[in-house]
Amino acid sequence: MSIVNLAPLLRQKSAALINQIRNHVRYPPHTLHIRFDPTDGRKIPCKDVLDRFKRLNCGLWIRGKPGRYKKRYMKDEPFLTESLKHETTKLNECQMMDKVMNRFWVRPKYYIEDPYEAYHVRHGLSTPRVGYDNRLSRERSKILLEDTVTDQYFYDR
């Protein structure tokens, strides 16, 4: 076979490769792996992040604890109750997931009867609460306030 006869086959293979590009891609977890749509240049959101995490309106990302549904019959009662709670991610993880998402998913969302409605607002904090050293950062001491003081300073009730 000559090289001239192979040219149509090579063109067909490259067309097949171009057709395999999908909008929502499940790709291996690389740090700051951002995909763009080849046709219009928009950022493609990472489907794996959308499946595993939920973004709160304050900028925090929460996730379920790993192994919460694995062999529950073998685990003790304190683990069973704690495993159904959510964990917040660190500051650098929140920033990384914001970069991987597009504008639609970073925007605040408001749902009817949202079970996470109480957690969307963090009083006086503009950054996620866990810093790079995995400690609580910018956390205020817990103070019991009267309702009049709370209504005076906090507007999210």
Q: What is the pLDDT of residues 34-59, one digit of tens each?
A: 778 888 888 888 888 899 999 998 88
Q: What is the pLDDT of residues 106-150, one digit of tens each?
A: 888 899 999 988 888 876 655 555 556 656 555 555 555 677 777
Structural domain of residue 144, as residue ranges? 3-153
- What is the DSSP secondary structure assignment for residue 58, as one 8-state letter? T
The reply to whether the predicted model has a pTM over 0.85 is no
Q: How far apart are CA 111 and CA 117, in angstroms?
A: 9
Phi and psi, residue 55, nearest 5° = -95, 125
- Report the domain count for the chain: 1
